[in-house]
């Protein structure tokens, strides 16, 4: 007959055998943290810029700085053969620029919803990791830690200069992110607690050469402020 005490010993033994078979996760150290971050975080993450497909202003809704940049972007994309841009001025004074993708542009530009309606989107560069610093391990759990990632925007595509609507994407300027690392049921998870912060007292990286643009896609909404 199996007693509660015997059953408890059996359960403990099975748990111990399972732990031995699976192996406990290793304690986080600086090298493991760096490896996990490089495999799971932002290195070579594609960066996109967008421009509304339709840009307009009217007597009751004045043209702003972003409208000017958006029209310039549409014209740049048209000059590259990626769009056709239609310009009309309505009887009530509303001025409209409407972009339509060409066959050439279809393979390069995606579409996404934005704060100003449907937008064209294109890959302009990537994020590149420069270093992983200031690793800290949790004092009570060796499978939890954090580290800072120093990175910059690099490898501009031909679309980089065309998208005058890109916001805060200077090539080579160093930025900082903070990654949190933990082991969850045998799986390592890396999450960015701080996605982007400026870094001071660092020499900017040298921007890489232009690479070919890549596509993307999505859907729709109206006209408040541009996305940040």
Q: Residue 121: which of 162, 64, 88, 156 has the closest Cα?
A: 162
Can you tell me the mean pLDDT for 189-198?
Answer: 90
Choose between 210 and 62: higher pLDDT. Answer: 62
Cβ within 8 Å of residue 171, ≥6 positions away: 125, 152, 153, 154, 156, 160, 207
134-156 burial by CB neighbour count: b if 16+ within 10 A, else e?
A: ebebeeeeebebbbbbbbbbbbb
Q: Cα–Cα distance between 212 and 221 in angstroms, integer?
A: 30
Q: Residue 38: which of 145, 175, 153, 179 has the closest Cα?
A: 179
Q: At residue 205, does pLDDT exceed 70?
A: no
Residue with tokens 């969850």, as numbered in its chain: 184
Q: Over the stretch 120-160, which tens digit does the pLDDT of each residue have?
A: 999 999 999 999 999 999 999 999 999 999 999 999 999 99
Q: Are 13 and 20 in contact (CB under 8 A)?
A: no
Q: Over the stretch 21-66, which tens digit does the pLDDT of each residue have?
A: 456 888 999 999 999 998 876 778 999 999 999 999 999 999 999 9
202-227 burial by CB neighbour count: b if 16+ within 10 A, else e?
A: eeebebbeeeebeebeeeeeebeebe
Task: Give the pLDDT of residue 192.
Answer: 87
């Amino acid at each position: 007959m199996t007693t509660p005490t015997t059953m408890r010993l059996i359960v403990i033994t099975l748990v111990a055998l399972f732990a031995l078979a699976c192996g406990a996760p290793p304690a986080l150290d600086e090298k493991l943290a760096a490896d996990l971050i490089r495999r799971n975080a932002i290195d070579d993450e594609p960066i996109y810029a967008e421009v509304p497909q339709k840009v307009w202003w009217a007597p009751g809704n004045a043209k702003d700085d972003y409208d000017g940049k958006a029209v310039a972007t549409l014209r740049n994309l048209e000059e590259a053969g990626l769009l056709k841009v239609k310009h009309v001025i309505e009887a009530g004074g509303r001025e409209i620029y409407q972009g339509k993708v060409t066959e050439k542009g279809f393979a390069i530009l995606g579409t996404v919803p934005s704060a100003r309606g449907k937008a064209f989107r294109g890959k302009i560069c990537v994020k590149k990791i420069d270093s992983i610093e200031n690793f800290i391990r949790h004092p009570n759990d060796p499978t939890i830690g954090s580290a800072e990632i120093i990175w910059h925007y690099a490898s501009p595509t031909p679309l980089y200069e065309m998208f005058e609507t890109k916001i805060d994407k200077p090539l080579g300027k160093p930025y900082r992110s903070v990654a949190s690392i933990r082991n969850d049921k045998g799986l390592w998870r890396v999450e960015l607690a701080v996605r982007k912060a400026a870094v001071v007292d660092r020499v900017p990286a040298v921007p890489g050469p232009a690479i070919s643009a890549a596509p993307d896609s999505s859907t729709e909404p109206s006209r408040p402020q541009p996305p940040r």
